[in-house]
Structure 1
Amino acid sequence: MRYGLVSRLLHWGMALLFLWQFAGMAVRLTVGRSPVTAFMVGSHVSVGSLLFVLVLARGAWSLLNLRRRPRHAAGLAGQAARLGHLALYGLMLAVPALALLRHYGSGRAFAPFGLPLLPGGRERIDALMAPADLAHGLLAWMLLAAVAGHVVMVLVHHRVWRDGTWARMGGGAASLPAAGTEAGRR
């Protein structure tokens, strides 16, 4: 069974936005201050806000379509997949929620993509900022590790177990050649 179009669009759209977020932070850490860093990191709050909205939409969509979604395998592998997906969703919710909490606590205006959602000039609330100051970055890097694990497991499913998992969310069974085929050896 394959995921529907909305699920696939949300999955791959979010994947591209996460790639942008992590690439921006990697550029910041490796290059330091530069025009490229300013451009990429300058969009971090807006893109993070969009990701938060999309993860909420994706979670709601998943719950609405629970009966039509492909099931996890039985046994230990299925349980590990279930826990891995729960970790991904938990981190995808926690990381931007902490950032929003920090931003609210800062008293600064909040205007993702230039859309004014919260006026500035409020009093700073350090107790709201502290959790994000402690955990936002660490949890974000944990999210990156979980995403990397997710990608590795997709490749294991496809290349080792050959169970059709890639075709559920990917571009179809033919879009990533199976190991052992002539196209897969290239």
Structure 2
Amino acid sequence: MQDNPQSYGTVSRLFHWLMAAMFAFMSVSAYLFTVDDEYFSLMPYHKATGFFLAVLVVLRLLWALKNAARRPHGSLIVKLGHAALYALMIAVPFIGLIRQYGGGRGPLEIGGVTVFPAAPEKIQWMSELGNHWHGLLGWALFALVAGHILMAVVHQLKGEKILNRMAGPR
């Protein structure tokens, strides 16, 4: 269940693959918003997924910190890459939530349940922060994830069996 120097444990793997699927949906839906207005019907799902990602990334970070001494070891560049991934995985959904709260978009509702209310009136700095940074950092996260995947494949092809740490047998 816990991580060890050879591989990631069940909880880390669950966080990784669940969040990977959710971020894939977020990237596809964000792209579709730019293609045609009809895809804005996906917005409630995009927002709900973003909210759950915000919760999961905090839980994942706490789990990673708890398992830090037991995790597979990586080079400084790997650690910096993972730190950048975590920074963006935290920043992107939370900036989206800030925009939702203060951007005049109404309360965040998931399945008819109000998760948090909207600000009584639009808060300009929250709206501007979200409008400028949420999408920009989202695409930066997408690029970083693409690099993460590419490097995992490169290391695997070099015979380092890196994919087994997150996907292989325990």
| TM-score using structure 1 length | 0.82
Shift in Å, 1:101: 1.0
SS class of match (2:8): coil
1:98–1:120 distance in 2 versus 1, CA, 3 Å: closer
Contact 1:111–1:117 (8 Å) recurs in 2 = yes
The structure with higher relative contact order (CA 8 Å, sep 6+) is: 2
Which is higher, the Rg of structure 1 or of structure 2? 1
Alignment deviations for residues 39-95 of structure 1 (CA, whole Å, 9 cap, x no partner): 4333111000111111101000001111211111xxxxx111111111100000011
CA distance in 1, matches of 2:68, 2:37: 45
Q: Which residue of 2 aligns with 1:90?
A: 87
Could you list the structure 1 runs, at least 4 aligned residues long, displaced by more than 6 angstroms after superposition: none
Q: What is the count of residue pairs matched by the alignment?
A: 164
Work out which of the residue numbers 69, 72, 76 in structure 2 matches 1:70. 72
Identity %: 37
Alignment deviations for residues 95-151 of structure 1 (CA, whole Å, 9 cap, x no partner): 111111111113521223432122346111112221111111110000000000000
Gaps of 5+ in 2: 1-5
Shift in Å, 1:164: 1.8
SS class of match (1:111): strand
CA distance in 2, matches of 1:120, 1:127: 14
Specify which structure has the higher proportion of strand: 2
Q: Which residue of 1 aligns with 2:160?
A: 163
Work out which of the residue numbers 78, 100, 103 in structure 2 matches 1:103. 100
Counting only pairs closer than 5 Å after superposition, residues 4-153 of structure 1 correspond to structure 2 as 4-30=9-35, 32-34=36-38, 37-72=39-74, 78-107=75-104, 108-120=106-118, 122-153=120-151
